[in-house]
Structure formats: C-alpha cells, structure tokens
Chain A
Amino acid sequence: MVRYIAGLVGVGFVAALLFALVGSISGLFNDPQPESAAATLYKHPKELELESNGFMGKIDVAAAQRGFQVYKEVCSNCHSLKHVTFRDLRKIGYTEAEVKKIAADWGTKQQVQDPKTGDRSERANVPADHFPAVYYPGQGNPPDLSLITKARHDGPAYVYSLLTGYAEQTPELLAKHPDAKTPDGLYYNPYFPNLNIAMPPPLAQDGQVTYADGTKSTVAQNAKDVAAFLVWTAEPELNERHGLGLAVLGFLLVATLLAYGAYQSIWRNVKH
C-alpha cells in the first residue's frame, strides 16, 4: 500500500522534473543566454603574498602600521572602521602614548549629547573609543572596512587587486561589450564584480603617502600594506589562533595515537 502511493508520488515528481528538463534543454538550444559582459571581463584577484597568508601566517606588524597610515591618510575620508577601537592599535605595536595621540588628533570627533538640554557637541576621541562613523554623502556606499577581508572571497588579494586594478576601457573592449560602458560618475575596474565601481581610484599616484618608517611608497606598496592592515582589523586574533592551534593539534595528535594504541591493545586477542 505504502509502495503504491509512494510510487505514484515518485512518478509525479519525476514527471514534473522531466517536463522542466525538457523545457530547460529546449531553452538551451532555442534561447541561449549570451555571456554577460561581467562574466567575460571580470578578473579574479591577483596573487598577493602577505605574511599573514597560510596556516602558520602571522600579522606583519610593520606592514600593518604602514597600512594604518594609508587608511588614516587616504581611506578614512570615506570609509568607517567601526569595529576597531583606538586601544586595539596597541596590538600592532603602537605604544600607549602613541595611541593616545592618534586618538586625540583624529579628525572626526565623537558626538556628545547633553542629557539635560539635548544640545549636541563634540569631544576628542580617547583610546577606549571605536573609530567614529564616517558619513559619505556622495555617490555610492563606501562599506565599513573592519571586516572587508573576511567579507570578500579571497579578501586580502581582492583589496590589493581592486586598488591596483583601475584601467581604461579600450575601444576594442567597448566594441565587443557596448553594455559594459562605464556610466557617468563610475570608474572601470575589472576586479570589481560589476566592473564599474563608484569609488574613484584612491591611490592615484606613487608617493601619495609618506611612510613613517621610510619604506618606498608606491601604489602597489600602499595597496599591499593597507591589505595587510585590513587583514589585522578583520582578524586581530590571527597570531594567537595559529599558535594555539599548533599546540592543540599537537596535543590531539598524541592523545589520538595513545587512544589508538589503547584500542588496539584492548582488541588484540579478540577476533573481529
């Protein structure tokens, strides 16, 4: 009884699927979807070698500090970093005094509202504060950068490729894909999934940022360093996670081998 009803239900689903399958196959031949411009022109991120890559990666403190400088002087004009606090900067090597100064000097102040009068005013940042919100009134929605390297596939490489990937649209390209023409107010960047991005090239030329540690400042270097910094903002626990992981896996390996030995010896004379 169960089998007959089940058979009927099965035949029903299979029939509906066959009907849909026939439709799909005929659609494939009669109405083929042309490859979209985004599909052909989009480029996967370039290779980026950071010290934080790989299973035993560590945050490169010097690169993170340079990257913070890039963020501070270039990106922070439009992009928030709301999940990071000023005191967190201690973890990439800044001293307490340096952190206090960075906080106090930070351009965007904290908003304060008097609970009695309702008056709004500003106060300088202290280390305990999160980086204050940045409001960008222009075109596009600059995303918060705290988690950007975890919020994009291949995050660090994506950030690096995007920042170094701005290109001109060649006449040949426009001839083949007229629908990919960059609208007004946007910029062509094949590393961006939709090809045309609202962000103007933030690193327009070499030497835009003068590094405190004297490293040669090129667009590629800036992009690499800010990627390293953003890996830290997204994963501040990286070093501890890898270190603890090595210890835990080592311990578990020994424990499992012992458990295996105990299991084997308990079953030694028992046929199974």
Chain B
Amino acid sequence: MIADWTAAGLTANYQDPALAHHMSGSALSQVTRHLYVEKTEGAVVRGTPQLLDVTFGQMVPASNPTEIVINSCVDTSSWLEYTTDGHLYNNVAGGKRKTQVLVVSQNNTWKVDQLAMNAVGTC
C-alpha cells in the first residue's frame, strides 16, 4: 500500500489504478485526493517513508477478525514534496508521525480501508 502510494506520488498520479490494489474506502479516497491536490499544485512526492514500531490494535471480531487496527510510526523525513523539475517544493521537514490504519478483509483480501497520520513528532 505504501509502495503503491509512493509510486503514484512520483508523478502525482491520482488516477493510478494500483492505488486500489491494497486500499479501499476512505483510505483510498483520501490518498486519491491527496495526490490530486499535489497535482494541482504542481508537486510530486519523492522518497520513501519508513514504517516503524508496527503493532496490532483492536481486532474485530476478536477471533478470526475481519477488521484490524494497526498502529505504527511513519517517518516521513525522506518522503517529501518536490517540484516536477526536482527541487524541494518547500522547506517543511518531515518527521515521525503516529499513524493508524484499519485493515479490512474483503473477499479474502486485506485492504487498508481507513488511515490516519498525525503530526510530526507524535511518535
């Protein structure tokens, strides 16, 4: 999912069908919107976020769950906005963001359905 997002971000391709491979619901909508805004502003996203401290949270139902909350710390220090000609879009630094996702099993496929990434410095 992160790989799909980072790949689409390279060209701010909000219509990249690969985004739906591992995302659905509001997570997919929000990533789509994010990339669209990048596109309208002439920005792309380069680099790769680092996924740290991954832990499982709630599971619904508790046995044989179909919905699971996953907590993590995403370091966006090397995942920044650039202009299309390769310059940093701004001087806002990335950093460690407390991140939650809700993964949902749909037709035997797990997809990230909801996603929240909090402020830099929250983990």
The answer to whether A and B interact is: no
